[in-house]
């Protein structure tokens, strides 16, 4: 939990929230499974897909993916980590270069154009213009969406 310095705390009878009075709590070291289950609802939010024989919690890190692939294939974790990192770098480079990336049966990494719009800067109480820009997005395939519905 974030502990704010005395300079950032509200003063003069203003609104005080409980976060300002609590001290940071050190979490005990425990297994990855328990850490994942601390996420709200992760224990109840498991997905099962007929294309995949395993069940996973709602939160999975790159390190966990590398560990599982290394365990299934028998390859070294460093080699698998290099392949995963190279895949992600190629997806990133393609997106930066203006290309979309398609994985049949999984989904597409696409670029979406956002139009210019007006927004409010509430700290200055002014209207600002947000220019048109491109954002990365993921569009799951129909098979993947059906898998998640079950």
For the stretch 73-132, pLDDT in tens is 999 999 999 999 999 999 999 999 999 999 999 999 999 999 999 999 999 999 999 999
Tell me phi and psi for residue 82, to 5 degrees.
-65, -40
Contacts of 127 (CB under 8 A, 6+ apart): 118, 119, 120, 121
Closest CA to 61 of 33, 26, 95, 29: 33
Spatial contact of 102 and 111, defined as CB atoms under 8 Å apart:
no
Total length of the chain: 150
Closest CA to 111 of 90, 128, 97, 95: 95
**What span, in angstroms and rounded, lies between the C-alpha atoms of 122 and 115?**
21
Global pTM value = 0.56
């Amino acid at each position: 939990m974030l502990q704010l310095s005395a300079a950032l705390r509200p003063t003069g009878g203003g609104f005080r929230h409980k976060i300002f009075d609590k001290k940071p709590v050190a979490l005990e070291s425990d297994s990855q499974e328990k850490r994942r289950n601390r996420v709200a609802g992760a224990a109840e939010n498991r997905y099962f897909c007929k294309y995949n024989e395993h069940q996973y919690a709602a939160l999975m890190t790159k390190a966990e993916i590398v560990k599982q692939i290394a365990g299934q294939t028998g390859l070294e974790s460093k080699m698998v980590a290099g392949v995963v990192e190279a895949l992600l770098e190629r997806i990133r480079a393609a997106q930066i270069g203006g290309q979309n990336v398609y994985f049949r049966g999984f989904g597409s990494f696409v670029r979406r154009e956002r139009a210019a719009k007006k927004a409010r800067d509430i700290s200055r109480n002014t209207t600002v213009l947000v220019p048109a820009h491109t954002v990365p997005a993921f569009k799951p395939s129909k098979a993947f969406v059906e898998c998640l519905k079950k």
